[in-house]
Amino acid sequence: MSKRYAGIAWTETGYRVEVLDDAGRQVVGPSGWSGGQVAELIGWLRELGDGQEAPAVVLDSTNGLLDGPMTAAGLEVYRADPWLLPPRPGFGSVTAVQLAEQARTAPGALARVTAEGGTLTGRAEEFFAGVERGEPARAALTAAGGCFDHGRRDDPRVALTFDDGPDPVFTRQVVEILERYGARATFFCVGHHVAALPDEVRRIAAAGHELGNHSWSHPYLPDLTPAELREQLDRTAEELDRVGGAAPTWFRPPYGALTPEVLAALDGYPTTLTMWDVDARDWSRPGPEQIAATVLEGAGPGSVVLMHEGAGDRAQTVQALPSIVEGLLERGLELVTVGELAATPDAA
């Protein structure tokens, strides 16, 4: 049985898929999918070929939205790095054919993405070194009010934040739980999902929550040029303004990848960088009890908590959320948006 490769490119309007066999023959005609059809795309890939093994999926590092749900679904997922590929267009990845061809002709050069390592599997050392190099500039930016990690430690409030949405299933579940407790939160949305699921964005805004910018396609920012990076933010901000009724004032970098080069590219950009001091690590799906324990052990007055409600199976996060909210409220901590927490005088 020949190996098959599904190159998946992202564009302004969704995903483009091309499937080739190991001889370079097209297995099925090109197909297009919106950002809200990831579950349907996964089902299609699994069924492709009348019971044969699903094709291996090939993404690039500017697409951080598919590896989570696809590895969770048991698909074989690979990443093709920029130095293996031709130049990208100004907005979007290389073509789906180019991704499939790279896998077909040099499969050993690709990184096999794991659920534990996520999109950056195999590049962790590079990632941590880049963040360490960026620490001095980030610290200076924080001191100047351009980067927000947490609020005052005597402020009895906590900001819960949710990344990577909106999602066609989990967003409404998170919003409903928060509403049950009268809690407010900040949702850092990716433009790709905002464009595909505008009603879910409106649901977030109508419930009184805050919308933040989390880029368009969740790329590894160091792989972008300064112009590409700003285009990711600009397009997401425009879409959130159009759908949600206001341009976001907060930006969370995917993976927290603030290298000196990324910080330089963001210099003067009209949003405040938003990080966190408590990471729920819910993306690794360790179980709802562990997610709740991680948050409740780490959070205190002024904390900003990182969680996720999109780009993967977030059922464990949803299951953990009531225990998290109840545990924080029992300590007398009010749950507010990042904007409300940061508005406290002398937040530091």
Point out the catalytic residue in the list 150, 214, 308, 313. Answer: 308
Active-site annotation holds for 308: yes
What's the 3-state SS for 76-120?
CEEEECHHHCCCCCCCCCCCHHHHHHHHHHCHHHCEECCCCCHHH
- At position 122, the amino acid (one-letter code) is G
**166 preceded by cis ω (within 30°)?**
yes
Torsion angles phi and psi, residue 54, rounded to 5? -60, 145
Active-site annotation holds for 199: no
Point out the catalytic residue in the list 60, 163, 167, 313. Answer: 163
CA angle 281, 287, 298 (to 5 degrees): 45
Alpha carbon dihedral 172, 173, 175, 181, in 10-degree steps, equals 150
Torsion angles phi and psi, residue 25, rounded to 5? -80, 145
**Do residues 219 and 180 touch, judged by C-beta distance below 8 A?**
no
| Two tokens, residue 325 | 């909210």
DSSP type of residue 86: P
Q: Is 151 helix (H, G, I), strand (E, B) or coil?
A: coil
User: What region does 186 belong to: left with phi over 0, alpha with psi -120 to 50, or beta?
Assistant: beta
State the sign of the Cα–Cα–Cα–Cα dihedral 24, 27, 31, 33: negative
Torsion angles phi and psi, residue 303, rounded to 5? -70, 150
Residues annotated as part of the active site: 163, 308
